[in-house]
Amino acid sequence: MRLFFLMILFWGCSSHEKNMANQHMHQKPHKELIACFDDPVRDEWQKPHLVLKHLGSLKGKRIIDIGAGSGYFTKFFLSRKGVVVAADVDQVFLDHLKKTFPISQYPNLSTNKVDYNDPRMEKESFDLAFTSNTYHHIDNRVEYFKKVFAGLRPGGKLAVLDFTPSPISKKELGPPLKMRVDPITVFDELKKAGFSELELIDKEFDYQYLIVAKKTENH
């Protein structure tokens, strides 16, 4: 039940105001949300070491963490010497990030308050766009990820980590099945947004899938 409660709170991190998941988030104060996001038990099912393995070397890479929340993945990107922009729609989370990762100790981190429909990425300025447990919240995804595509440098990558659409046994993690987006749909939407060379990684994860999409050099 503890894990299930934790994930109920995750559903609203970067959702549209009309999204049902957003209502869950506002039922709890930010302090409680942050404690849940950073609960050490998350490592058990999130498997960040596997995610990082598939992202490759991050040293010197400019990364945008879309829906960064409390900075769970931000801290891993920083530890691997990435230049990170932590982006979120919620200023309270961004203020928390600034306190957790002060500029004096983490000069490679900056924050950016973004819109529900716009990641606010400068044109061809990022090597990697990353989003975890957020894709299923985004409305008008093709248009949204066209903006992500434009913000990536040629050869840049987008990594989408989200929940499998099949029922989960033993542990109840993630949003209701009706809110989940299957990988085939993600592939189709990202191709429409301009991405190519899409790779699905799902066998290594118990409850999630990772899709890595590339912006080819000829764009």
**Residue 215 · residue 154 · CB < 8 Å:** yes
- What does the pLDDT read at residue 41? 87
Q: How confident is the model at residue 159 (pLDDT cuts 50, 70, 90)?
A: very high
Query: Residue 214 in contact with residue 56, Cβ under 8 Å?
Result: no
**How remote is the C-alpha of 192 from its chain's centroid?**
20
Instruction: Work out the burial of residue 143: count CB atoms within 10 Å of its CB; fewer than 13 is exposed, 13-18 middle, 19 or more buried.
Output: middle
pLDDT of residue 14: 38
Reported pTM: 0.86
138/116 Cα distance (integer angstroms): 7
pLDDT at 168: 63
pLDDT surpasses 80 at 211: yes
Report yes or no: 106 and 80 within 8 Å, Cβ to Cβ: no
CA distance 30 to 99: 14
Gap between the Cα atoms of 214 and 137, Å rounded: 22
User: How does pLDDT run across 188-204, given as a tens digit for each residue?
Assistant: 999 999 998 999 999 99
Helix (H, G, I), strand (E, B) or coil at 113: strand
84-120: buried (b, 16+ CB within 10 Å) or exposed (e) per residue?
A: bbbbbbbeebbebbbebbeeeebebbebbebebeebe
Distance CA 108, CA 8 (A): 31
Please name each of the domains of the chain with its CATH number: 2-214 (3.40.50.150)
